[in-house]
Amino acid sequence: MLTIFKKEIAGFFSSLIAYISIVVFLLVTGLFVWVFPDTSILEYGFASMDSFFGIAPWIFLFLIPAITMRSFSEENKSGTIELLVTRPITELQIILGKYFAGLTIVVLAILPTLMYYVTVYQLGAVKGNVDTGAVIGSYIGLIFLAASLVSIGIFASSLSDNQIIAFIVAVFISFICYAGFDSFSKLDLFGKVDNIIASVGINEHYQSMSRGVLDSRDAIYFIGFISFFVLLTRMVLESRKW
């Protein structure tokens, strides 16, 4: 697994994918957090990072599929996937190696945004007048969200040898899982069942963590969600042997 991880990381940084992904994420979030008047912290007037944690998931819906689309699609197209699965390494190790490589790139994109927190901390009318607990919870939630979307991206990439198709499928599934269930539950069609529908989606649990409430149920949800798509990817790879 470590060999696959190193290979994927080297592949990311030998191309422009990792650099472009990190720059785009920082540029777009920076514009929303500091420049655009409707979301700018400076215009908002409160020491809060809500605008960042509100826009970051929507950027991830497109950014993470772009990072993960090549994971298996490139292997499928070049035919190296058959060679890879015949080596003394399990399908799960292959998947996890690629999964953690993709997640590492996303975490590297998130890390520089800690400067946003430092800046907000310093700029407060009363220095340090920022809800640090909520910020920590939001960052943890954001990483769990990213981890979930990476698992979707890896799964989508395993379905096709075309990176564009893998990207579109990943964006679609990610959107449904993040916002689809939440939006559907707000239609008030099924009464009490609407709450259950909302809890199936990612947004419900991400918002819970963003409030600074670290509930074990949210962590279990994310771990289960990630495991589900990792297992689906494993099934896709195993089906190639049939």
pLDDT in tens, 20-57: 888 999 999 989 888 887 778 777 666 678 888 989 99
pTM beyond 0.85: yes
CA–CA dist 64, 155 (Å, integer): 12
> For residue range 79-104, what is the model confidence (pLDDT) as tens digits?
666 666 666 678 888 899 999 999 99
- Domains in the chain, number: 1
- What is the pLDDT at residue 105? 93
Instruction: Quickly state the pLDDT bin for 224 (edges 50, 70, 90).
Output: very high
Phi, psi of 89 (to 5 degrees): -150, 140
Confidence at residue 18, expressed as pLDDT on a 0 to 100 scale: 80
From the list 150, 125, 121, 145, the residue with the least C-alpha distance to 135 is 121
CA distances in angstroms from 90 to 11, 93, 110, listed in the order given: 21, 5, 30
In tens, the pLDDT along 7-25 reads 888 888 888 888 888 899 9
Closest CA to 67 of 177, 201, 170, 176: 170
Confidence of residue 242 (pLDDT cuts 50, 70, 90): low
Q: Which amino acid is at 53?
A: F
Query: Domain range spanning residue 158?
Result: 2-239
Q: How far apart, in whole angstroms, are the C-alpha atoms of residue 162 and residue 38?
A: 38
Helix 2-14 and helix 17-30: axis angle, to 10°? 70
